[in-house]
Amino acid sequence: MKEICENFYNDLHSSKVHVPEIQLRAEEEEIPAVMLDEIKNALSKIKPDRSPGKDKIETEYLKAGRDALNKALAERFTKYLKTSTIPSSWLTSETVLLRKKEDP
């Protein structure tokens, strides 16, 4: 079963089409900072019953972090945007299959 699921999702997410890299912004154009309100808005939309990621941080802790955490997140996301970097941990995911009562 594990191999079937791995093959399915690997095939689903693999791209066989070459997409050329494009320049999205002029070099001199300033990238705006991520705003605290954007962080608050995004966190408010996370469902409370979501499973934590590999960092094991529960949703309620993110929401309870208040301004100190929101400011740190805004600064970190702004840095990623301005340096065009993606943390390596964001490049992996973990899929958990959940059986529902109505599934055969």
Report how far residue 70's alpha carbon sits from residue 32's, in angstroms, rounded to the nearest whole number. 17
Q: Is residue 24 part of a domain?
A: no
Per-residue pLDDT at 103 exceeds 70? no
Q: How many domains does the chain have?
A: 1
Q: Is residue 76 part of a domain?
A: yes
Is the whole-model pTM more than 0.85? no
- Contact between residue 73 and residue 33 where contact means Cβ atoms under 8 Å apart: no
The DSSP 8-state label assigned to residue 27 in this structure reads T
- Contact between residue 74 and residue 38 where contact means Cβ atoms under 8 Å apart: yes
Q: Is residue 74 part of a domain?
A: yes
Q: Is residue 100 part of a domain?
A: no
Q: Which domain holds residue 80?
A: 30-89
Per-residue pLDDT at 104 exceeds 80? no
The residues near 64 (Cβ < 8 Å, ≥ 6 apart) are none
Chain segment 25-82, per-residue pLDDT in tens: 666 678 899 999 999 999 999 888 888 888 888 888 888 888 899 999 999 999 999 9
- CA 14 to chain CA centroid, nearest Å: 18
